[in-house]
Each structure stands twice: as C-alpha cells, then as structure tokens.
Amino acid sequence: MIMENGLSVSDLAQFETLEQFIIEREANFPHSTGAFSRLLRDLSIAGKVVNRDMRRAGLVDISGTTGEINVQGEVQQKMDALAHQEFVRALRRGGECCLIGSEEHAEAIPLRTNSGDSDGEYIVLLDPLDGSSNIEVNVSVGTIFSIYRLPEEFDEPELDAALQPGVQQVAAGYIVYGSSTMLVYTTGEGVNGFTLDPSIGEFLLSHPDIKIPKKGKQYSINEGNYNSFDSGLKQYIKWMQQNDPDTSRPYSTRYIGSFVADFHRNLLKGGLYIYPSTSKSPDGKLRLMYEANPMALIVEQAGGRASDGRKRILDKMPDRLHQRTPLYIGSDEMVKMAEEFLSGERTR
C-alpha cells in the first residue's frame, strides 16, 4: 500500500517509532517503573498538538500577540500561551511530573495538589515556544524541555527543588517545527532524532546517535549588537571573517533568530551559536534553566561544548528560575576558541 507521502507501508516499517525506542531503552533498566517513558510520551503528545496548531498558523486566529507582557518582559504571542497550556495540560494529565517551570509563567507550577492528582517524581522546565516572534513570518520555531528528578530531601515539590545545576538533568530535548517536525532528545546516553510522519502521526527514528562535527564553518550571532560586545568576542568575530583557505575561513554567518532552529542546524552541520552579554542584556538573553541547560546536555552528549564564555553551562548553580546566561554553544573547537579569545589568551 502506498501512503499519501509516497512511502509504502514497508518503507515506514524500516523506521523505529519513538514509542518503540523508549520502551526498548526502558527495558535496559531492570527496576524501572515506566514512569519516565510515560513522561516522554506525554511531552511528545503535547508536541504533536502544538505542531498541529502551528501548521494552521496563518489560517486560524492563533498568530499575533495576546496583548500581555510575559515574566521576561517580552511580548507574549498567542502561540506562546497556547503551547504553554498544551504542555501543562499533557503533563498534568500524565501524572508523572510534580513541578513545571515555564518561560511563560512567573512562578513554578506544582502539580501535586490536595486532590492528589499527581504523585509524579519528575520536574519539567520548559520553553514552550522558542522563537515565537517568527511564527507570523513562517520561520521555524521550537519547544525546549529539561527534566530533573525531585530530590529526595523534598517531600513536596517547590521552586527550590527545581534549582539544580544542569549536570543533574536526567533528560533534555527539543522539538523543532520546521520544514519537517523533529523531536531530538538525550537521556545522557547519546542523542537521537525522530521525524514526525504526519500521515501516521508518529515520530520515527530518522537521526540515530547524532554527533556534532568537532568544528564547523558557520557561526550564529545577532551581529546588530556588535558595538556592545566584549573586545575578545569582537576579535574572534574578526578572526572568523578573515580570509584563510587553509582553515576554511571566512566562515559564513547563519542567524535565524530562533535558537532551536539555529542550534539544530549547527548540531547537524557543525557550527557555533553565540548569545553573549550585551550592554542591553548584560547577562545575555537566553535563559539558563530552559534554554541553555537542556541544549548544553544535548550538545555535550553529541560531542560538542557549551559555555558562558568562561564556565561550563552545566556546572552553573542557578539561583532563580528565569535566570539568564551568556551562551556559547556548538562544535567543540569553536567554543574552545571563543573561550581563548574571551580570556585574552588569544587575540588573533
């Protein structure tokens, strides 16, 4: 039988589904209860719902702003609010999550209530929709998630339970709503990517064991902010722009303005994404807990590197949920070289 996407049923059978993959991995852990697998399934279901809404964005009344300013001081898009609701709903219904932290919500959201609707043990931190200002112009956007366990010393989920360094994440992932929709995640044993086949509504394993090239030829930064960069960063940018065929320079600039999409391209092709401190945003713009940490775990698992310019992202001890951090993330050699320029160890 030929499906509407032109593939036959036997073509599709070559691909493992996300659900099969999760179940197989779970079987490697003898005492596992299945809770973590259910949590990942809940996140993937919410991703499918957001994907469905996104695919209709120009047609139904879901693009544009809500008229609200979110806790970040940024204009909230209707899809930001909708994606937040879908993920919270899926996690509440699933019962495996006890606490949610979301970019679109000022406080952490505890899911264990008096009515006992959840005794879940996982904490999920979310950027429900990354790059949302790009929706109106039909550019890729994404969802980023970061998963921790509720530490044993906490009987009840509360904000402090979520303030763990990124190195303690048990899993992290993202969904990119692009020319195709992909879910990429790690549980600390490599990185795997799944492409949504819309004709059967399943994520299929299309990118097993992703490795990021050690160096790339592309860098991603909002160069409009150049005048407020550190001198070390300015020198590094000039170095990347110099003509030197032996080292494949000049590099190309690729900046979409959707972190998930820029990160995804660099992960597959090699490259460096930078959101540095600027005079407008001295701590950078991206959020440590639901943008930098999850992508840092993924990039390290793929053989890359993530740093705030001086320090490994995953070792940073957070002091608040919506904390920001400068971010240098991508191919190992490119991030290391950025650190050398920033420390002054290298000037050209």
Chain contacts with ligand AHG (rule: CB under 6 A)? 74, 103, 127, 130-132, 222, 257-259, 285
Binding status of residue 197 toward Mn ion by CB under 5 A: no
**x-or-dash string of contact with Mn ion, 91-120, rule CB under 5 A:** ------------x-----------------
> At closest approach, how far in Å is the CB of 95 from ligand AHG?
27
User: Smallest gap, in angstroms, from Cβ of residue 131 to ligand AHG?
Assistant: 4
Structure tokens at 40: 């990942």
Q: Which does 283 bind (CB under 5 to 8 A by kind): ligand AHG, Mn ion, none?
A: none
Q: Position 157: which residue type?
A: P
CB of 289 to Mn ion, least distance (A): 11
- By a kind-dependent CB cut-off of 5 to 8 A, residue 94 interacts, out of ligand AHG, Mn ion, none, with none
| Min CB(84)–ligand AHG separation in Å | 11
Query: CA–CA separation, 137 vs 58, rounded Å?
Result: 9
Which residue bears the tokens 């899911």?
Answer: 111
* Least distance to Mn ion, CB of residue 76, Å: 9
Residues 6+ apart with CB under 8 A from 31: none
CB of 167 to Mn ion, least distance (A): 21
Q: DSSP labels for 144-167?
A: EEEEEEPPTT-SS--HHHH---GG
Residue 222 touches which member of ligand AHG, Mn ion, none, C-beta under 5-8 Å by kind? ligand AHG
> Is the Cβ of residue 126 or residue 150 nearer to ligand AHG in the bound state?
126
The pair of structure tokens assigned to 217 is: 């030829």
Name which of 176 and 337 has its Cβ closer to Mn ion. Answer: 176
Extended strands (E) in the chain: 65-69, 75-77, 97-102, 109-110, 122-130, 141-149, 171-177, 181-186, 191-197, 202-207, 218-220, 252-253, 272-275, 305-307, 327-330
Closest approach of Mn ion to the CB of residue 223, in Å: 19
308 binds, among ligand AHG, Mn ion, none (CB under 5 to 8 A by kind): none
Distance between CA atoms of 92 and 86, rounded to whole angstroms?
10
Q: Which two tokens stand for residue 307?
A: 């740093």
Q: Where would I find the H helices in 151-280?
A: 159-162, 231-241, 259-269
- Which option in ligand AHG, Mn ion, none does residue 302 bind, with CB closer than 5 to 8 A by kind? none
Q: Minimum distance from CB of 151 to Mn ion (Å)?
A: 26
| Residue 288 tokens, joined | 């440590």
* x/- letters, 125..154, toward Mn ion (CB under 5 A): --x-xx------------------------
Distance CA 154, CA 123 (A): 12
Q: Which is nearer to ligand AHG, 98 or 184 (CB)?
A: 184
Whose structure tokens read 């593939």?
Answer: 7
Residue 258 near which of Mn ion, ligand AHG, none (CB within 5-8 Å, type-dependent): ligand AHG
Per-residue b/e over 161-183, b at no fewer than 16 CB within 10 Å?
bbbbbbeebbbbbbbbbbeebbb
The residue (of 120 and 294) whose beta carbon lies closer to ligand AHG is 294
Q: Smaller CB distance to Mn ion: residue 84 or 217?
A: 84
| Residues touching Mn ion, count (CB under 5 A) | 4
Q: Which is nearer to ligand AHG, 132 or 181 (CB)?
A: 132
- Within 170-313, residue ranges assigned H as helices are 231-241, 259-269, 293-301
- SS3 at position 102: strand
Q: Which residues bind to Mn ion, rule: CB under 5 A?
A: 103, 127, 129-130
